[in-house]
Amino acid sequence: MATYAIGDLQGCYDPLARLLDYLDFDPAADCLWFVGDLVNRGPQSLEVLRFVRSLEDAAVTVLGNHDLHLIMQAAGHGKANKEDTLTAILAAKDCDELLYWLRGLPLFHVQGNWGMVHAGLLPAWDVAQAQALSDEVSAALLAPDYLKFLANMWGSEPNAWSDDLAGWDRLRVVVNAMTRMRFVTSAGAMEFRAPGAKGPPERGPKDCVPWFDASGRRSADHQIVCGHWSALGLYQTDNLLALDSGCLWGGQLTAVRLEDRRIFQMPCGQAARPSGWE
């Protein structure tokens, strides 16, 4: 049995199928970890959703910002973007079933010494707290009045954690950290708007560091798998696996076998241009 963590798909089903053939993936014996952003911008978002859902217990998936964008679009919240490729999902006969399944996915997954999140964890959170906060968001996404949460979920404020946060502000900070964050200040606040906030670390915002380099990060005792940051690319340290290697942009789709950290990559033909890089 092997566990393979796989980077952002964003609707690129064909490279995933080729990669799984190369891995000789067996859903009866192996498990796939998906770091989120299953959908959007790529050409086959519907096929990706249907396939990952069909894997059932052979897949573990966390939500990314594009997955939440799809959930919000279906509910009539948030603004559609011209780069979106979500029409086929919204028009599909099984749309409601796919969206209900998607809402049931967590923001953070922990298994042994491994953790998986789409974007990152704030420096103040240890793994146990991050898991509890992810559970709070999951409860809101599955609540009968989840539409109220969606109406209040998006936005970049507050940009820092406090144990005193409550209500929508509390949940919004959790969503932003786990699905959108790249850089934090020395005080642990998230930086989304400054020049360089979507670019590579060496061209990041002034007085900021990548979230995983924050001093005193309390989740550093676990190995964290993440995606979200194509400008960072495949990046490894002793306690980090960042797997967004830009499949959507014509780069590679990356899988890492967690048992031995062996890397497998499949070239991607998609050649969309990244937006927001400085």
**In the chain, where are the structural domains located?**
3-267
Q: What is the pLDDT of residue 277?
A: 38
pTM of the model: 0.96
**pLDDT value for 78:** 77
Share of the chain above pLDDT 90, in %: 92
CATH code, 3-267: 3.60.21.10
Confidence tier at 273 by pLDDT (50, 70, 90)? low
CA distance 237 to 167: 35
More confident residue, 106 or 272: 106
Distances (CA, A) of 65 to 14, 39, 117, 230: 22, 10, 11, 14
pLDDT at 278: 31
Q: At 276, is the pLDDT very low, low, confident or very high (cuts 50, 70, 90)?
A: very low
